Amino acid sequence: MRAHRLLALSTVGALGLVGLAACDKSTSDTPAAGGPITVNASDSGCEISVNRASAGPVTFKVTNKGAKVTEFYVYAAGDRIMGEVENVAPGLARELRVELPAGTYETACKPGMTGRGIRATFTVSGSAQPLTADAKLKQATDSYSRYVQSQTAALLEKAQEFVDAVKAGDVAKAKALFPVARTYWERIEPVAEIFGDLDPKIDGREEVIEEGMEFTGFHRIEKDLWVTGDISKSGPMADRLMADIREIVAKANAEQLSPLNLANGAKELLDEVATGKITGEEDRYSHTDLWDFAANVEGSKAAVAALRPVLEERAASLLSTLDTKFAAVDAALGKHRRGDGWKFHNELSQADLKELSDAINGLAEPISQVAAVVAR
């Protein structure tokens, strides 16, 4: 972060008088000089006080003036997430602090937390110093670490809501929150899987639990909710889930990821889809597999997006294939949207599942080439 700021300053200096006026204007918008950029989000709008900034840390203050829960994103090319705040409830304000090198970005509010969102261009100037190869890889892991942090923050929040609903005996609310809380888990599952002992406690399915180990976690509560409908004794199980999630979140955020982790994670998430979600094995009681499916794909996309500058430089045609194939997966999955969520797995026909499977295979094969590109 410090390096970035120094870099930005020296470049501004070199621009000299010609750039002064512009600099004055934009520096007044940077957090250091003029406080955060305000974002007024509503259910149909996304007003941003200024659409440019100078390179370095930029802070957005997002206020939700609508009736729907919203999110705010800053995207680089290819929807690489530079920063995001999720779950901004109506009436609340949240800050997003993000480190932005010079370039063209897009901001997006997502009322209802779905879709592409309400987008606008956001320009950052001041530092055009090209990154070295190593710096690009560093930028990739930093960018992905930010993603992991945003997802784990949302996971803690939504899992707590889910756990609270279970403990309150509110079956309907717990059922509604189950796939939502899992979304944040599923997006970053390969990171969670680094911690081999915790992952099965949180997400183990009944048949994969080893002998002598208790069936706990999401799927245990899922079974209570959907099979027996009796959660009167599920409170302690819910507390254990929350404790395990807290532990894994702390570990995940402390983990120093390598670029190869990202590349392999992008592929593993699609493997998750192919083996567990298309078959309906993952959420066999609730049939909410498509929530997990979408989250896996989003997580995979986020990892590829973080690696985007590296891929652009080293394997541009692979990157364009990935863009096309991600779009094909989105299109195939998009047919099964219902409201803010998805159809249930048992509502899909064999032909629907085959189409999804084909789309995933079409994406997973090129994505399996990413690790070698990153490693070379």
Partner 1 sequence: MSPGAHERGRAASDHGRTPDAEATVSLSGVPRRRALSLAGLGAVGAASAVGITGSVLRTGGTAAANAAAAVPFFGAHQAGITTPAQDRLHFVAFDVLADRRSDVVDLLRAWTAAAARMTAGHDAGVTGAVGGMAEAPPDDTGEALGLPASGLTLTVGFGPTLFRDASGRDRFGLADRRPPALADLPRFPGDALRPEISGGDLCVQACANDPQVAVHAVRNLARIGFGAVSVRWSQLGFGRTSSTSRTQDTPRNLMGFKDGTRNLKAEDGALLRRHLWAAPGDGPAWMDGGSYAVTRKIKMLIETWDRTSLGEQETIIGRSKGTGAPLGRTAEFDPPDFALPGADGDPAIPVDAHIRLAHPDQNSGAHLLRRGYNFVDGSDGLGRLDAGLFFIAYQRDPRHQFVPIQHQLARTDTLNEYIRHVSSAVFACPPGVRGPDDYWGRGLFG
Residue 193's φ and ψ, nearest 5 degrees, are -70, -15
Which run of H or of E encompasses 188?
Answer: none
Q: Which of 309, 263, 312, 299 is nearest to 101 (CA)?
A: 309
Nearer to partner 1, 166 or 363 (CB): 363
Q: Which of 31, 80, 85 is nearest to 55 (CA)?
A: 31
Q: Is 376 in the site for partner 1 (CB under 8 A)?
A: yes
- Starting at the earlier edge strand, list the strands of the sheet with 118-125: 52-54, 118-125, 103-109, 70-76, 80-88
Alpha helices in the chain (DSSP H): 2-15, 20-27, 31-34, 133-167, 171-187, 189-192, 198-203, 218-223, 235-254, 259-272, 289-306, 308-314, 316-334, 350-367, 370-375
Q: Supply the minimum distance, in Å, between the C-beta of residue 369 and partner 1.
A: 7
Amino acid identity at 243: A
Q: Is 100 in the site for partner 1 (CB under 8 A)?
A: no
Burial class (CB in 10 A: 0-12, 13-18, 19+), 236: exposed
Q: Is 260 in the site for partner 1 (CB under 8 A)?
A: yes
Q: Supply the minimum distance, in Å, between the C-beta of residue 57 and partner 1.
A: 34
Q: Supply the minimum distance, in Å, between the C-beta of residue 362 and partner 1.
A: 3
168: number of Cβ within 10 Å:
13
Q: Is 325 in the site for partner 1 (CB under 8 A)?
A: yes
Subset of 199-258 contacting partner 1 (CB under 8 A): none
Q: Supply the minimum distance, in Å, between the C-beta of residue 229 and partner 1.
A: 33
Nearer to partner 1, 306 or 374 (CB): 374
- How many residues touch partner 1 under the rule CB under 8 A: the total is 19
Q: Is 371 in the site for partner 1 (CB under 8 A)?
A: yes
> Segment near partner 1 (CB under 8 A), from 37-45, 134-142, 285-293, 358-366?
358-366
> Segment near partner 1 (CB under 8 A), from 22-30, 84-92, 165-173, 367-375?
367-375
Name residue 81's beta-bridge partners: 75
Nearer to partner 1, 129 or 368 (CB): 368
Return the structure tokens found at 244: 């395990």
Subset of 139-198 contacting partner 1 (CB under 8 A): none
Among 149, 160, 258, 368, binds partner 1 (CB under 8 A): 368
Burial 224-235 (b: 16+ CB within 10 A, else e): bbbeeeebeebe
Q: Supply the minimum distance, in Å, between the C-beta of residue 357 and partner 1.
A: 8
Nearer to partner 1, 59 or 321 (CB): 321
370 within 8 A of 311, measured Cβ to Cβ:
yes
Q: Supply the minimum distance, in Å, between the C-beta of residue 260 and partner 1.
A: 7
Subset of 334-353 contacting partner 1 (CB under 8 A): 350
Which parts of this chain interact with partner 1 (CB under 8 A)? 260, 325, 328, 350, 354, 358, 361-366, 368-369, 371-372, 374-376
